[in-house]
C-alpha cells in the first residue's frame, strides 16, 4: 500500500508467511491469499506485495516468460512488488530450519548468485511509471560461529560489494534502483544495529572494498562510496532489535549519523518476560518448537546474556536460578496481541518506533513479518492466517494513522 509522503512510504506483509518453496507454490499462494488479505483490509488502490522467493522458486521463476506473466498478473490486479525477502534461501516451513536458515551465507558464492538474481527480478517487477526504489533484505553476514577471523568478515563484505556492482549495472541498464538491506539478528555476525553500522563502515566502505567496486564498475572512488552508502544498508527488524534490548530512537539515529540508510523495516514483535520465575519458565517450554531458532537475550541488572536457542536458555536458568532476569525471546508473535497468557509481546518497542516513523519517516519500506502462525500455541491462532495478517496490517495503519 502506498501511504503517501515524498518519497512515498509503502506498507505490505511478507509472503514468507505462506509455506511454499517452488515457484508454482509461491504463485498459488499469491493468487489465493493476497486478494483475501486485500479484501479483508478494505483498502482501495494498488496493493503492495513483499515477495519471498526461495533459491528454488527464484531459479524456476527466472527472467523470461514466467516473470513476464507474473508482471502481467500484478498489473491486471492492481498489485505491485517493491521488496523481496532474500533472507531464507532454503525450506522455511514444515521442517527443521534452525541455523540452516542462514545458509548459504555471505561466505559462499551461492548467496551472491541468489541475491543477484533476486535483484534482477525485482528490477523487472518494479512499476515503470514510478520512481519507486526496490529492496532485497538479506542475512547479517552469517551465523556467528561461521565467522572465525577478521578475514572472514572482510570476505563477506567483498561479496556484498560484488553484489553492489551488479546493482550498479542493473541501475545503468534499467534505470531502476534496488538496495541491499542487511538484517541484524541475534547470534549472527551482526546482532545489533551498532554491529551492522560497524561492519558497513569498517569493511564495506573501506579502501579495499572501494578499490574493488571501482575496478568492477569503472567509477571513481568518490562515486563508489556514494553508491555503496545509497545501496547497501540496513533492514531494521523490530523483533530482533527489541530482543536485543535496543533503544528505538538510538537505532534510527545511529544509522543516520553514520550516513547510512534504513532501506526496510520489518514490523515484528517478540516475546517479553519481565522477571522470569519457575512458573513462567514452565509455561515457556510450550513455546519451544523444532522448526525455528528462538534466540534469547536475558537482562539482569543491566548485564545482557545471550543464548542461541530457547532450550539452552531454559537449561541455564534451571542451573543457576538467576534472580528475576528479564527475557526477550526471538519468536515472532502477533503485533496486535499484546497479552500472551503468562507473557506479553514487545509491542512497546514497535509502537515507539512507528510513532517515530509517523513523525519523521526514516524508511520507505514497511513489511509485516509474523511467519510463525503454524507453530504458535493454538490459543493465539484461532482466526485464519489471512484474517490475522489483515488484522496486523490494520493495527499498523492505526499506529501510523494512515
Instruction: Name, in order, each residue with C-beta under 8 angstroms of 13's C-beta and a sequence gap of 6 or more.
Output: 37, 50, 367, 368, 369, 389, 392, 393
- What's the chain's Rg over C-alpha atoms? 20
pLDDT computed for residue 182 by the predictor: 98
pLDDT computed for residue 356 by the predictor: 97
* Local structure of 376: helix, strand or coil: coil
* Local structure of 73: helix, strand or coil: helix
Angle between helices 109-125 and 150-174 in degrees, nearest 10: 20
Q: CB of 293 within 8 A of CB of 101? A: yes
Where the chain has pLDDT below 50, the residues are: none
> How does strand 365-368 pair with strand 339-340?
unpaired
pLDDT computed for residue 321 by the predictor: 73
Per-residue b or e along 368-392, where b marks 16 or more CB atoms closer than 10 Å to that residue's CB = bbbbbbebbeeebbeeebbebbbbb
Q: Which of 91, 83, 79, 124 is nearest to 19 (CA)?
A: 91
> Does the 10-271+344-400 domain belong in CATH 3.10.20.30?
no
DSSP state letters, 165-203: HHHHHHHHHH---EEEEE---TTBS--SHHHHHHHIIII
Helix H or strand E encompassing 232: strand 232-237
* Local structure of 327: helix, strand or coil: strand
**pTM for this prediction:** 0.96
* Local structure of 206: helix, strand or coil: coil
Q: CB of 33 within 8 A of CB of 390? A: no
Q: CB of 116 within 8 A of CB of 170? A: no
Distance between CA 108 and CA 366 in Å, rounded?
A: 29
pLDDT computed for residue 320 by the predictor: 81
Helix H or strand E encompassing 253: helix 248-257
pLDDT digits (tens, 9 = 90+) for 354-381: 999 999 999 999 999 999 998 999 888 8
β-strand partners of 286: none
pLDDT computed for residue 402 by the predictor: 64
Cβ neighbours, 10 Å, residue 71 = 18
DSSP state letters, 261-320: -EEEEEE-EEEEESS--HHHHHHHGGG--SSS---EEEEETTEEEEESSHHHHHHHHHHH
DSSP state letters, 331-368: EEE-TT--EETTEEESHHHHHHHHHHHHHS---SEEEE
pLDDT computed for residue 230 by the predictor: 98
* Local structure of 326: helix, strand or coil: strand
Per-residue b or e along 74-98, where b marks 16 or more CB atoms closer than 10 Å to that residue's CB = beeeebbbbbbbbbbbebbbeeebe
pLDDT computed for residue 302 by the predictor: 82
pLDDT digits (tens, 9 = 90+) for 257-287: 999 999 999 999 999 999 888 999 999 999 9
Could you tell me the strand order of the sheet in which 296-300 lies? 303-307, 296-300, 326-333, 269-273, 343-345, 339-340
Cβ neighbours, 10 Å, residue 290 = 9
Q: CB of 287 within 8 A of CB of 271? A: yes
pLDDT computed for residue 323 by the predictor: 66
- Residue found under cell 513483499: 50
Amino acid at each position: 500500500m502506498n501511504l503517501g509522503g515524498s518519497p512515498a512510504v509503502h506498507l505490505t506483509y511478507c509472503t514468507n508467511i505462506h509455506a511454499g518453496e517452488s515457484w508454482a507454490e509461491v504463485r498459488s499462494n499469491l493468487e489465493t491469499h493476497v486478494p483475501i488479505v486485500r479484501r479483508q483490509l478494505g483498502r482501495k488502490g494498488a496493493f503492495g506485495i513483499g515477495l519471498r522467493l526461495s533459491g528454488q522458486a527464484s531459479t524456476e521463476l527466472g527472467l523470461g516468460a514466467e516473470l513476464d506473466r507474473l508482471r502481467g498478473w500484478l498489473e491486471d490486479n492492481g498489485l505491485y512488488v517493491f521488496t523481496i525477502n532474500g533472507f531464507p534461501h532454503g525450506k522455511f516451513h514444515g521442517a527443521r530450519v534452525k541455523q540452516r536458515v542462514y545458509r548459504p551465507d555471505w561466505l559462499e558464492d551461492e548467496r551472491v548468485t541468489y541475491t543477484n538474481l533476486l535483484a534482477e527480478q525485482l528490477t523487472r517487477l518494479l512499476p515503470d511509471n514510478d520512481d519507486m526504489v526496490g529492496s532485497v533484505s538479506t542475512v547479517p553476514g552469517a551465523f556467528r560461529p561461521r565467522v572465525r577471523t577478521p578475514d572472514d568478515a572482510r570476505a563477506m563484505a567483498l561479496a556484498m560489494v560484488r553484489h553492489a556492482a551488479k546493482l550498479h549495472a542493473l541501475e545503468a541498464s534499467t534505470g531502476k534502483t534496488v538496495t541491499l538491506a542487511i538484517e541484524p539478528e541475534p547470534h549472527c555476525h551482526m546482532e545489533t544495529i551498532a554491529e551492522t553500522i560497524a561492519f558497513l563502515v569498517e569493511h564495506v566502505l573501506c579502501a579495499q572494498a572501494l578499490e574493488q567496486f571501482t575496478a568492477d564498475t569503472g567509477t571513481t572512488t568518490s562515486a563508489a562510496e556514494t553508491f555503496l552508502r545509497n545501496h547497501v544498508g540496513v533492514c531494521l527488524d523490530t523483533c530482533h532489535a527489541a530482543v536485543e534490548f535496543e533503544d528505538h530512537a538510538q537505532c534510527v539515529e545511529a544509522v543516520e549519523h553514520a550516513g547510512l540508510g534504513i532501506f526496510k523495516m520489518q514490523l515484528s514483535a517478540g516475546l517479553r518476560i519481565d522477571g522470569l520465575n519457575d512458573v513462567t519458565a514452565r509455561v515457556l517450554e510450550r513455546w519451544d518448537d523444532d522448526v525455528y531458532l528462538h534466540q534469547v537475550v536475558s537482562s539482569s541488572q543491566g548485564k545482557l546474556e545471550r543464548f542461541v536457542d530457547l532450550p539452552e536458555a531454559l537449561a541455564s536458568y534451571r542451573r543457576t536460578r538467576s534472580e528475576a532476569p528479564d527475557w526477550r525471546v526471538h519468536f515472532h508473535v502477533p503485533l496486535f496481541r499484546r497479552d500472551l497468557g503468562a507473557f506479553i509481546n514487545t509491542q512497546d518497542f514497535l509502537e515507539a518506533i512507528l510513532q517515530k516513523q509517523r513523525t519523521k519517516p526514516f524508511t520507505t519500506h514497511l513489511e509485516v513479518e509474523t511467519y510463525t502462525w503454524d507453530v504458535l500455541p493454538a490459543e493465539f491462532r484461532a482466526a485464519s492466517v489471512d484474517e490475522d495478517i489483515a488484522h496486523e496490517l490494520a493495527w499498523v495503519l492505526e499506529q501510523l494513522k494512515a
